[in-house]
Amino acid sequence: MLACIQSNHCMLTKNTKLIKSCRAALIKLLRQDFRKYIELFFWEKEVSDQVWAILPHETPQIINRLKIKKGDVVLDLATGSGAIALFCADKAKKVYAIDINPRAIEYAKFNAILNNLERKIEFRIGDLFAPVKNIKFDYIVWNGPTVAAPNVANPSTTYALSDFGGPDGAEFTRRFINQVSPFMKKDSTIMFYDSCLGNKQRSVAIDYLAEKFGNKNYQIEINHLNKSRGIPLSITRKLFNKYRKGKFPLAFNNFQEVNTSEKRWWKWLKAKKLDWVHFAIVKIIPNPAKKFEITEKFGLSVKKGG
């Protein structure tokens, strides 16, 4: 059970008894009126919060694919409201939940207390792996910002902190790939959400992953969230225009600054031949075949490549 509850912009995480006392009432509301429960506790109404709960479709997709074993030490990067960390904590020995947004950590702490899991999750504030130096993990999960949008002078004040992934959507994914190796054990599993841009065959994140891991014995499993590798950018351009016009106010805070950068952005995308948007859950595991291999899953079918 998750809930993002606000009280004068200050969370009540110090009062654990009060939080736990809410559980029965929340369960009752959830069972009686699911829609009202979601409206009350998951849809962030203020851009300043910059915390997504569980509404983004990739969170359940990641959770459904996690295979946490008893005794595992798990790292959940960009934890947000803590949905993935809570799921992992049910079986894991310990979970480290990291987010650069202090507000997100407060939400996640609240949800951990609500689910009696606060003793199994250690929450830390910081950027990517900075808060967990010198620790190796059995499972590393990352669901960070991957929305491609125009570069602007002040991204943190223009875009929601949980969204903006740079002009191709892979800015933070590349940083994650660059930094992950020292935190891996020999048999570690890595999982992250990839929704960045690319060509029809492959996203820029997968190209970068192949470049960095191509000489190692890993299997890269790409679980596409639809029956193809993604959708043409021309379709998502229509969606972007809806964002730009304010149809989805959570995405952008400063429409004027985005508008002035938009033309340059589309020209840059065309020059880079980034005309496809990918949606996939990427899993990295040691390959028993002792070679680098990329496996793609489309529903029940599997395609292999190098």
Model confidence pLDDT, tens digit, residues 193-244: 998 899 989 999 999 999 999 889 999 999 998 888 888 877 666 655 655 5
Using the structure block, give the residue that is written with the tokens 């903006």. Answer: 164
Question: In which band, very low, low, confident or very high, does the pLDDT at 3 lie, cut at 50, 70 and 90?
Answer: very low
Domain boundaries, the chain: 16-305
Q: Which fold has domain 16-305?
A: Rossmann fold (3.40.50)
Residue 191 DSSP SS3: strand
User: In 40-148, at which residue ranges do the beta strands (DSSP E only) sit?
Assistant: 73-77, 94-99, 121-125, 137-142
Give whichever of 29-33, 162-166, 184-188 has the largest mean pLDDT.
Answer: 184-188
Nearest Cα to Cα of residue 128 among 185, 181, 50: 181
pLDDT at 248 over 60: no
pTM of the model: 0.79
Question: Could you tell me which residue, 137 or 289, shows the higher pLDDT?
Answer: 137
Q: Residue 157: what pLDDT?
A: 65
- pLDDT above 90 coverage of the chain, percent: 36
Residues in Cβ contact with 294 at an 8 Å cutoff, skipping those fewer than 6 apart: 206, 210, 219, 220, 222, 304, 305, 306
Average pLDDT, the chain: 78
| Predicted confidence (pLDDT) at residue 30 exceeds the cutoff of 60 | no
pLDDT band at residue 141 using 50, 70 and 90 as cut-offs: very high
Q: What whole-number distance in Å separates Cα of residue 60 and Cα of residue 43? A: 16
What pLDDT is attached to residue 4? 47
Task: Calculate what percentage of the chain has a pLDDT beyond 70.
Answer: 68
Residue 38 has pLDDT above 50, yes or no: no
